[in-house]
Structure formats: C-alpha cells, structure tokens
C-alpha cells in the first residue's frame, strides 16, 4: 500500500469563491502588509513582508489568537496571563474575563473579507498534494483554486481548515477590493 494520497477530484459544489482571477479571503485585523518574524515553533513566513489569511469561509480563529493581544487590556494579554500563571495565580478568572472581553468587543478587531489577485503561498501544491518537505508552494490564483477544491475540508479527505491558510506577499499580487 502506498503512502501517496489518493486522487480526489475537485468539489462540484465548492464554498471557495473565485471571480475574475481573484479569490475571496478573510483575516482577523487590518489589511496591512507587515514585516514577518519567526513564528510559532520556529516556522517562517515565505517572504519578509505580507499578511496571513484564509479563503472565505474557511477561517480558523486559532491561528489569529495573537491578534487580540494588540487590542486587549494589558492585564488580559497572553504575556500577562502567562506571568500570572508562573507566579502561582489562579488564572481561570482572568481567562474567563479575557473571553468575555473578546466576545463583547468583536468590532475592535473585526474579521475582514477582501479579494486577492496574483499569486499566493499555500501549504499544498498543484493538484492538491501536500509535500511535507516543502513548507510553502507559490501558486497562481487559478492553480490554487484547482488545488484548494481538492483539499477543501468536508470532502472526505484528511485536510482540515488549517491547511487552507495562505500567505499574501505584496511582491506577488495585490488586494483588489476590500
């Protein structure tokens, strides 16, 4: 038996939206290209400057939890909660307060939809296959669309929403509508 993923045809009724060569994406926070730093577990962005997003509606809040630290009261940031935990403070109440603040203040760090045209970096290659040795694949929107429809969650494959994350670099495309 081969470790090669089985061929999965594209979905006929996909929820991914592509129009006129642009894909509809969503992210938490502003639509600004920012300098990238070494990420979680040493992961690196594919380019020095850009922004992270998901194809709409495949947004995963887990990957944007750090965006809330930009707007939360200081005593509810992850750094403050970790310091309190290390000091032996019971942080359950603080986490509950943090969750309530976020739920009440969604408009402070809103989800934003936008259209992206050009190329984007993705975790899967043309044809929808994932290559564990290659962290990022650069695809045109049309190639990405074909591959993404093969790995779209809920299509009887092992891919999940986190595989849908993309990186948009200003050197590779542009935001055409906000």
Higher pLDDT, 142 or 124: 142
- Confidence at residue 38, expressed as pLDDT on a 0 to 100 scale: 59
Residue where one domain finishes, among candidates 53, 82, 108: 108
Query: Do 81 and 159 lie in a common domain?
Result: no
- Number of Cβ within 10 Å of residue 22's Cβ equals 19
Q: What is the number of alpha carbons within 13 Å of residue 54 lying toward its C-beta? A: 22
- Confidence at residue 70, expressed as pLDDT on a 0 to 100 scale: 84
Query: Do 24 and 51 lie in a common domain?
Result: yes
Residue 6 lies in a domain: no
Q: Report the alpha-carbon distance of residue 109 to residue 68 in Å, rounded.
A: 7
Q: Percent of the chain having pLDDT more than 90?
A: 42
pLDDT at 130 over 60: yes
Count up the domains in the chain and report the number: 2
pLDDT per residue as tens digits for the range 8-24: 444 456 788 899 999 99
Q: What's the sign of the alpha-carbon dihedral 147, 153, 158, 164? A: positive
Q: Report the alpha-carbon distance of residue 111 to residue 61 in Å, rounded.
A: 10
Q: Report the alpha-carbon distance of residue 98 to residue 151 in Å, rounded.
A: 34
What range defines the domain where residue 150 resides?
A: 18-64+110-177
Given a contact cutoff of 8 angstroms between Cβ atoms, the answer to whether 23 and 145 are in contact is: yes
Per the DSSP assignment, residues forming a β-bridge with 177 are: 115
Query: Do 118 and 41 lie in a common domain?
Result: yes
Would you state the structure tokens that stand for residue 28, as one six-digit string?
């938490």
Higher pLDDT, 30 or 174: 174
Length of the chain: 178
Please state the φ and ψ torsions of residue 94, each to the nearest 5 degrees.
-65, -40
Q: What's the sign of the alpha-carbon dihedral 34, 36, 40, 46? A: positive
Query: Do 122 and 171 lie in a common domain?
Result: yes
Q: Report the alpha-carbon distance of residue 95 to residue 14 in Å, rounded.
A: 37
Q: What residue has token string 């996909």?
A: 14
Higher pLDDT, 58 or 172: 172
Mean pLDDT over each residue of the chain, to the nearest integer? 82
Mean pLDDT of 137-163: 78
Residue 93 lies in a domain: yes
Prediction pTM value: 0.76
Would you state the structure tokens that stand for residue 169, as one six-digit string?
């670099």
Mean pLDDT of 142-165: 75
- Confidence at residue 7, expressed as pLDDT on a 0 to 100 scale: 45
- Confidence at residue 4, expressed as pLDDT on a 0 to 100 scale: 45
Residue 5 lies in a domain: no
């Amino acid at each position: 038996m081969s470790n090669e993923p089985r061929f999965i045809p594209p979905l006929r009724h996909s929820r991914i939206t592509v129009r006129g060569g642009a894909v509809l994406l969503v992210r938490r926070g502003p639509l600004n290209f920012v300098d990238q730093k070494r990420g979680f577990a040493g992961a690196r962005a594919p380019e020095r400057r850009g922004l992270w997003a998901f194809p709409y509606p495949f947004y995963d809040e887990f990957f944007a939890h750090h965006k809330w630290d930009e707007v939360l009261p200081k005593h509810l940031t992850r750094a403050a909660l970790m310091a309190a935990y290390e000091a032996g403070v019971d942080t359950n109440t603080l986490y509950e307060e943090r969750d309530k603040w976020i739920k009440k203040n969604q408009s402070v760090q809103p989800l934003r939809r936008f259209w992206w045209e050009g190329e984007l970096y993705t975790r899967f290659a043309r044809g929808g296959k994932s290559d564990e040795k290659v962290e990022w694949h650069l695809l045109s929107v049309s190639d990405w669309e074909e591959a993404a429809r093969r790995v779209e969650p809920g299509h009887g494959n092992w891919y999940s929403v986190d595989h849908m994350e993309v990186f948009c670099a200003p050197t590779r495309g542009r935001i055409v509508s906000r």
